[in-house]
Amino acid sequence: MKVAIMYFSSQHKNTKKLLDALKETYDVTLFDVTDVKDVELSDYDIIGLASGTYFGNYSKKLLEFAKMHLPQKKKVFLINTYGALRAIQKDVKKIIADKQCELIGYFGCRGYDTYGILKYVGGIAKGHPNQKDIENVKNFLKNIINK
Ligand SMILES: Cc1cc2nc3c(=O)[nH]c(=O)nc-3n(C[C@H](O)[C@H](O)[C@H](O)COP(=O)(O)O)c2cc1C
């Protein structure tokens, strides 16, 4: 099973922390959507979309990238970090459905958040993703690959 993950990770690289842990354990290829322009994903069997939550949603850059580059009829999974609440699923699910792809799983966990006034109180979800989150995301991907 060839697995690729397109991702956007900015604030504290919380999402990237999860993905780096996955890469240590599994044969996954990571694509930073701010860094790649032409990418060919049709060779991959399973494609992940990953980002933090920004203003309630997945990263706009990730959603735009997925609209352009997600091939048709793939198995797709989602990884999302958030300070308090997971990203809304509506927009990403529409892109997945429009591409006739199948959504096969979602993983979410909290990520250290110091956005805006939160920085004055030391942030929230400090220390996340932590070792337990990393263990959980590894188990999540194991199940995805074995599906
Ligand atoms: C501009 C901005 C907007 C954010 N909006 C939300 C939000 O609406 N809901 C939430 O729970 N967390 C929000 N967060 C917190 C991030 O989702 C959280 O810290 C996430 O782990 C960031 O992932 P990253 O470090 O991979 O970019 C926001 C962070 C930033 C920088």
Q: From the CB of 84, is ligand 1 less than 6 Å away?
A: yes
Residue nearest to atom 2 of ligand 1 (CA): 54
CA 108 / ligand 1 centre spacing (Å):
12
Query: Is residue 38 pLDDT above 90, yes or no?
Result: no
State mean pLDDT over 42-68: 97
CA 17 / ligand 1 centre spacing (Å):
14
- Residue in this structure with the two tokens 């006739």, named with its chain if needed: 100
- pLDDT in the model for residue 147: 74
Identity of residue 146: N
In ligand 1, the atom with minimum distance to the C-alpha of 56 is 8
How far is 98 from 106, CA to CA, in rounded Å?
18
Residue 84's pLDDT band, with cuts at 50, 70 and 90, is: very high
CA atoms within 13 A on the CB side of 113: 19
DSSP 8-state assignment for residue 112: -
In ligand 1, the atom with minimum distance to the C-alpha of 59 is 27
- Going from N- to C-terminal start, the domains of the chain cover 3-145
State mean pLDDT over 13-23: 98
How far is 127 from 19, CA to CA, in rounded Å?
16
The length of the chain, given as a count of residues = 147
- pLDDT in the model for residue 69: 95
- The neighbouring-strand residues paired with 109 are 81
CA atoms within 13 A on the CB side of 130: 6
State mean pLDDT over 74-100: 98
CA 112 / ligand 1 centre spacing (Å):
8
- pLDDT in the model for residue 37: 76
Best substitution site from 6, 8, 11 to test ligand 1's pocket, by max atoms within 8 Å of Cβ?
A: 11
Q: How far is CA 115 from CA 22, 28, 61, 75, 119, in A?
A: 26, 30, 18, 33, 6
Q: How far is CA 126 from CA 25, 82, 84, 117, 119, in A?
A: 25, 12, 11, 15, 11
3-145: which CATH topology? Answer: Rossmann fold (3.40.50)
pTM value? 0.97
- Among left, alpha and beta (phi > 0; psi -120 to 50; other), residue 21 is alpha
Residue nearest to atom 28 of ligand 1 (CA): 54
